[in-house]
Amino acid sequence: MNVATAVKSLVPSADAPGNLLRNAWKRLRVLPGGKRVFSRMVGMAAPYTGSIGAQVQEVREGYAKVTLADRRPVRNHLKSIHAVALVNLAELTGNVALAYSMPADARFIVAGISIEYIKKARGTITGVCECPIPTSNARKEYEVPVSMLNDAGEEVAVATLRTLVGPVKAKVE
């Protein structure tokens, strides 16, 4: 059995009932390398997001923690992590926290984002999000805050995602 087949056997299909992201996390997080596999899956679903190579460390209702290693592909000319890599980390962290927390019959889209860069981001950066938990698929806008911290625990950037949650459209057959 190859890796792709093994992953498919562990991850529920899109047609399975329930929250796909939450089900995948619960199955994969406990396996050796499972967090890395989960992070790659998220990156494959959203290729631009996957381009920064961040790794999801922890997810639970209303919370996510994602790390971004300081390496050449995400750096700027000042030898710090590029502003766009930080905003990408913020979006990934907030989206994972919210998607995990939503009802299975809801979907979301980021309608806006604001970010404040506080200091140069060097070393591993950890995105942390504590967000509201949608209790229904009713159309509603949520503010999803994300803090980005360096290895010393200093805040290097803060972002707020303005995210619209609504019902999943019915499948047309």
Residue 38: per-residue pLDDT: 87
Let me know: does 129 contact 64? Beta carbons within 8 Å: yes
Is 172 a domain residue?
A: no
Close Cβ partners of 7 (under 8 Å, ≥ 6 residues apart): 37, 41
Q: Following DSSP, what letter does each residue of 134-165 receive, concatenated?
A: --S-S-EEEEEEEEEE-TTS-EEEEEEEEEEE
Range list of H helices, 12-140:
20-28, 34-45, 47-50, 83-101
Task: Classify 7 as helix, strand or coil.
Answer: helix
Six-digit token string for 95: 């989206």
Distance CA 6, CA 34 (A): 12
Tens digit of each residue's pLDDT (9 = 90 or more) over 19-59: 888 989 999 988 998 899 988 988 888 888 888 999 999 99
Domain span at 78: 3-167
Is 173 a domain residue?
A: no
> Which parts of the chain have pLDDT scores under 70?
1-18, 171-173
Residue 29: per-residue pLDDT: 87
Number of domains in the chain: 1
Domain CATH code at residue 154: 3.10.129.10
Q: pTM value?
A: 0.86
Let me know: does 161 contact 95? Beta carbons within 8 Å: yes
Tokens 């299909």 locate to 13
Tokens 């030898």 locate to 79
